[in-house]
Amino acid sequence: MRRGLVLLTLAALLPLVLLSGALSFLLLHQEQATMRSEAVHQVERMLGSVDRELYTQIELLKVLAQSPILDGNQPSLAAFHDLAERFQSQLPLWHRIILADAEGHMLVRTGASFGTPLPPLVDERSYRRVLDTGEPTIGDVAASASSSDPPRASFRVPVRRDGAIRYVLTGVVSTKRLTELLATTGLDPAWRPYLVDGSGRIAASLRRPDTVGRQAMAPTVRAREGGASGVYDGISPEGELLVTAFRKSDRTGWSVHVAIPLGVYNQPLTRAAWVLACAGAAAVLLTAAFILLLRRELRAQRREALTHERAVRMEALGRMTGGVAHDFNNLLMVILGNLEMLGRRNQEPRLERYVTAIRKAAERGTHLTRELLAFSRGQASQSEVVDLNERLASTLTMIRQSVSGHIHVETDLVPGRHAVRLDPLQFDLALLNIAANARDAMPEGGSLRIATRRALLPGRSGREGIALSIKDTGGGIPPEALPHVFEPFFTTKDVGKGTGLGLSQVFGFAKQSGGAADIESRSGQGTTVTLHLPLAQEEVPAARMLADADGASPSSTAARVVLIDDNDEVRTVTASFLEDAGFRVEQANSAQAGLDLLERSGADILVSDLVMPGGMDGLAFANEARRRWPHLPVILVSGYSTSAARATELGYSLYMKPFDMAELAKGIRAQLGPRDRQLAVPGPS
């Protein structure tokens, strides 16, 4: 579930990252268009202010040109000189006022005493333009002689009298005011506004005042010649590339330019490239993570599918094995029961060795069927809560003895108390089976390492457990054999050297304990078998002394036993033994027949098989008998049953076939205990 959510999140994030990167690129690219628009807007605004300022100076000059002192054929030039001096004193930015005649001779010049010889006109081209057009004109910008004085521009207007141009009046004005007009509020400090006059010279510059009076750079000149407005690629005197917006005045021929350094202009594009690069890198990383997690998910799904397939196969094997064990146990029960009866009646010592040989063979069969039942989990679990480390410590001596001295056994146990619920005898047997396999895998010696660690149980239950691993340094298991090692009768050992039931018992024990077993092995690198056991909810009980139950039992001569078993041979031999032991035995071959027998004859104790045909098995029969006769003791027997564990949980005494007849008789006496002469289930009165 968690891996699926991660994959879903990555799949959703990937297009979002790409989309956000593309949108960021478009938005940042749009910033360049916004900068161009802003530069054009600033140019328009500045040019309007500059035009107003220039024509203000022209209008002031026109006012002076209307002076009546210049009327008549012989005007008083001295008086006009005084008037011009007073007029200039009222205009701080005005540097000089000059009056010249139509032939270009300078007649009056403020700043010099009247009558002082005057030089020729400096900007004769603009002077001639006034005479030719009869319109005011703005001359070229010229730098002042002193570096501390601002550059100046010349404004010229015609002085008309009687319809003819009699004089040309010139005002030389500082460009300081024009520079101030370029310093508009909100202008980016990195932007460079400047003003170019009609002849292509820089008239004002906000960032570079030292360039005023110089000829503008070639891209600026070409832009002015090519149109009245636009955006062009410019260049600074230092060679820095610029993106420049400009507008040229139709009235004055002057133009305002706002230059943006290319580095500033490209910053949004650079950020966009970084955003795209980061988005691309993030997309690549997310894609890689998605692919990696997807591969892991597919592998996990394949592993889960294989595990499920293996579990289904093992479950089917377990059911089949349990069925075989059940029938085999019934056969062994008949053999051992009859051997017991034969032993009691045999008077010939020479036959005893044959009886003993048959008994040993049957007991070996009993051991094999118990291992089969452990795999099929059909054997009753005598489970209890133990501390795993304490149980391991008590088992280590047996393990060291079983692997012999040339194999070193070492432990690495997680400290503390770890309560687990298990069958101690089956646990010991599982460890010994694993140790025996490890011993056979290390004929030349090696090491066996037993370790524990806290870990979640396999699967997605989230339940906490403890993993017990046993690792050897043997030759390992071939890969093709590894999936089958937990199957009954599968072995890689030579014929006659192994039954193939050792690891199947380990598997059955782990499952019976509510956990799991797995194995890892590589040829030449050893084998690790791991038992995953769930932690118990209960605490480990305090140690207690167990009372010896082998004391004298009361006489059971008159005790009546009702024996229920669908297998006639097993039932017959069991009844014969119990009768020899002094009990009165009534028999039935089904649950319903047993209930009828109890109703008719009564009983002191009920002994019933767990697996019986019909609609009621042994456990249901025992529950029904307990419901009807609460004081009736019940003992259950079974060769194999999936309900064996449930029977022990409900408190029934359970004997697994083939059992020792004497032990069954002893158990019956223990269940009866001290009693009066009344039956637990009285017969009909």
Same domain, 393 and 524: yes
Nearest to 640 by CA among 338, 256, 366: 366
More confident residue, 674 or 474: 474
Residue 306 lies in a domain: no
Mean pLDDT score, 188-216: 89
What would the pLDDT profile of 372-420 be if each residue is shown by its tens digit? Answer: 555 555 454 567 888 998 888 888 877 887 787 788 889 999 888 889 9
Determine the pLDDT at residue 147: 61
The residues near 351 (Cβ < 8 Å, ≥ 6 apart) are none
Determine the pLDDT at residue 554: 40
pLDDT for 544 beyond 70: no
Residue 508 lies in a domain: yes
What would the pLDDT profile of 233-257 be if each residue is shown by its tens digit? Answer: 999 888 899 999 999 998 888 999 9
Determine the pLDDT at residue 82: 94
Residue 227 lies in a domain: no
Same domain, 586 and 639: yes
What would the pLDDT profile of 477-536 be if each residue is shown by its tens digit? Answer: 888 888 888 877 666 665 445 555 578 778 888 888 888 888 998 888 899 999 999 998
More confident residue, 305 or 601: 601
Give the span between the Cα atoms of 140 and 138, in whole angstroms. 7
Whether this prediction's pTM lies above 0.75 is answered by: no
Determine the pLDDT at residue 315: 61
Domain span at 630: 560-672
Q: Which of 190-199, 275-284, 606-615, 670-679 has the lowest mean pLDDT?
A: 670-679
Residue 259 lies in a domain: no
Residue 609 lies in a domain: yes
143-168 b/e with 16+ CB inside 10 Å = b? bbeeeeebbbbbbbbbbeeeeeeebb
Same domain, 529 and 567: no
Share of residues in the chain with pLDDT > 90 (%): 22
What would the pLDDT profile of 108-136 be if each residue is shown by its tens digit? Answer: 999 889 888 888 877 788 888 888 899 99
Residue 40 lies in a domain: no
What would the pLDDT profile of 598-611 be if each residue is shown by its tens digit? Answer: 988 888 999 999 88
pLDDT for 676 beyond 60: no
More confident residue, 663 or 316: 663
pLDDT for 180 beyond 70: yes
Count of residues for the chain? 685
What would the pLDDT profile of 52-110 be if each residue is shown by its tens digit? Answer: 989 899 999 999 999 999 998 889 999 999 999 999 999 888 989 999 998 888 999 99
- The token duo for 362 is 């049957």
What is the maximum alpha-carbon separation in the chain?
Answer: 180
- The token duo for 506 is 């380990």
Residue 655's Cβ-side half-sphere holds a number of Cα atoms within 13 Å equal to: 22
Question: From the CA atom positions of the chain, what is the Rg in Å?
Answer: 57
pLDDT for 572 beyond 60: yes
- The token duo for 317 is 């094997």
User: Angle of helix 349-376 relative to helix 502-512, nearest 10 degrees?
Assistant: 50
- The token duo for 333 is 């029960």
8 A C-beta contact, residue 376 and residue 322: yes
Same domain, 389 and 507: yes
Give the span between the Cα atoms of 132 and 136, in whole angstroms. 11
Residue 98, strand partner residues: 109, 170
Determine the pLDDT at residue 183: 84
Kindly report the CATH number assigned to the domain that includes residue 581: 3.40.50.2300
Last residue of a domain, one of 118, 144, 175: 175
Last residue of a domain, one of 155, 175, 195: 175
Same domain, 165 and 84: yes
Determine the pLDDT at residue 556: 40
Same domain, 598 and 636: yes
Same domain, 513 and 409: yes
Last residue of a domain, one of 122, 150, 175: 175
Residue 649 lies in a domain: yes
More confident residue, 571 or 86: 86
Determine the pLDDT at residue 532: 92
Give the span between the Cα atoms of 27 and 268, in whole angstroms. 9
Nearest to 237 by CA among 254, 212, 266, 263: 212
Q: How confident is residue 551, by pLDDT bands cut at 50, 70 and 90?
A: very low
Kindly report the CATH number assigned to the domain that includes residue 160: 3.30.450.20
Q: How confident is residue 568, by pLDDT bands cut at 50, 70 and 90?
A: confident
Q: Check the CA dihedral 363-369-375-376 and report its sign.
A: negative
Q: How confident is residue 561, by pLDDT bands cut at 50, 70 and 90?
A: very high
Give the span between the Cα atoms of 8 and 310, in whole angstroms. 29
Q: How confident is residue 425, by pLDDT bands cut at 50, 70 and 90?
A: confident
Same domain, 512 and 617: no
Same domain, 491 and 566: no
Same domain, 388 and 527: yes
Nearest to 340 by CA among 587, 635, 574: 574
What would the pLDDT profile of 341-384 be if each residue is shown by its tens digit? Answer: 776 666 666 666 666 777 677 666 666 666 555 555 545 456 78
Residue 624 lies in a domain: yes
The residues near 663 (Cβ < 8 Å, ≥ 6 apart) are 655
8 A C-beta contact, residue 96 and residue 18: no
Same domain, 523 and 607: no
Q: Which of 45-49, 257-261, 321-325, 589-593 has the lowest mean pLDDT?
A: 321-325
Angle at 482 between CA 477 and CA 484, to 5 degrees: 130
Mean pLDDT computed over every residue of the chain: 80
8 A C-beta contact, residue 436 and residue 470: no
Kindly report the CATH number assigned to the domain that includes residue 525: 3.30.565.10
pLDDT for 1 beyond 80: no
Same domain, 385 and 530: yes
Per the structure, the count of domains in the chain is 3
Determine the pLDDT at residue 430: 85
